[in-house]
């Protein structure tokens, strides 16, 4: 009984910590790498499934942190975005 409970706990933990990147991705916003379509240059040496960050200030003055995933055809998909206001220390 304890082994079954431990297995269920482990599976529940894995389900909570894994990210699902199978969705079509987020829509690009002004400042996103893919805002006006996919970039002309391809990331030929980067393996599909790898991710990289992109940070910028949007048109409303907010800090935007995006994570892109390289697709099998070498196109980019936005898999995560966090937007937060910029705090100025005065």
| Chain segment 4-59, per-residue pLDDT in tens | 555 565 555 554 444 555 677 899 999 999 999 999 887 888 899 999 999 999 99
Flag whether 2 is in a domain: no
The structural domain count of the chain equals 1
39: how many CB neighbours lie within 10 A of its CB? 12
Flag whether 35 is in a domain: yes
| Residue range(s) defining the domain that contains residue 74 | 22-85
Flag whether 63 is in a domain: yes
- Predicted TM-score (pTM) of this structure: 0.69
- Spatial distance between the Cα atoms of 11 and 64, rounded to a whole number of angstroms: 33
Q: How many residues appear in the chain?
A: 90
By the 8 A CB rule, do 58 and 83 touch?
yes
* pLDDT (mean) for 61-84: 96
């Amino acid at each position: 009984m304890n082994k079954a409970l431990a297995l269920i706990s482990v599976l529940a933990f894995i389900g909570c910590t894994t990210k699902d990147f199978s969705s079509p991705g987020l829509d690009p916003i002004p400042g996103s790498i893919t805002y006006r379509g996919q970039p002309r240059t391809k990331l030929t040496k980067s393996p599909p499934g790898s991710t990289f960050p992109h940070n910028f200030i949007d048109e409303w003055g907010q800090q935007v942190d995006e994570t892109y995933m390289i697709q099998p055809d070498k196109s980019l998909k936005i898999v995560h975005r966090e937007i937060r206001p910029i705090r100025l220390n005065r």
